[in-house]
Every structure is written in structure tokens, then in C-alpha cells.
Amino acid sequence: MIRVRFEGRAACDAEGAPGETLLALAQRAGQPLEGTCGGQMACATCHVIVAAADFTRLPPATADEEDMIDFAASATRHSRLACQIRLTPALDGLCVRIP
Ligand code: FES
């Protein structure tokens, strides 16, 4: 299992399976992430801010993801869309904040 720490209003630690999206794990863990479009990269309601130390552990965002992040409230240079991040063992210990 891959451990992820969620920080913010409903801080918690959770464990996900390889291949699961960060959005699915967050929702299973009770995090306040809507994911309105179901992972179609059309809403940005799955916006998370990745800890600076962890950001480079993620595969780079696609141009489409970066375009959608531009619509997210409170976006930072460490912002990502949780629906586009698939958990892998390399991400064990990832720390993200729900803006
Ligand atoms: S769920 Fe809509 S962009 Fe991620």
C-alpha cells in the first residue's frame, strides 16, 4: 500500500493501492475534494497542493492539466489535479494539502 498524508481542514493519513488515483484515495479518506467531472480534467475541483519536497516525485503535469490548474482557486506552483495522479510505490509518503 502507498501512504499519503492529507493536510488541511480534515488532516489524516491514508493508504491507497497502486494504480488508484489520488482523488479516489482522498474521497475514500473523507477529504473535501469534489472531483465533479469524474476525472475528465474539466472542473479543477480536485485541486491539491503538493508539499514542495514531494513535488518532483510526481510525473510532470500535461499541458492540459496545467491549463485546468489555471482555473483552480488558490493555485500555486505546486498545484496538481488529484484525478491525474496515479499512486505508485515511488509516491509512498506523499504529502498534499487541500486548499
Ligand atoms: S475531477 Fe475534474 S479535473 Fe479532476
* 8-62 tens-digit pLDDT: 888 999 999 999 999 999 999 999 999 999 999 999 999 999 999 999 999 999 9
What is d(CA 33, CA 81) in angstroms, rounded to the nearest whole number?
A: 10
**Cβ of 85 less than 6 Å from ligand 1:** no
DSSP state of 86: B
pTM: 0.95
Residues 6+ apart with CB under 8 A from 40: none
**Cβ of 24 less than 6 Å from ligand 1:** no
Residues 6+ apart with CB under 8 A from 59: none
* H helical segments located in the chain: 22-28, 63-69
DSSP state of 96: E
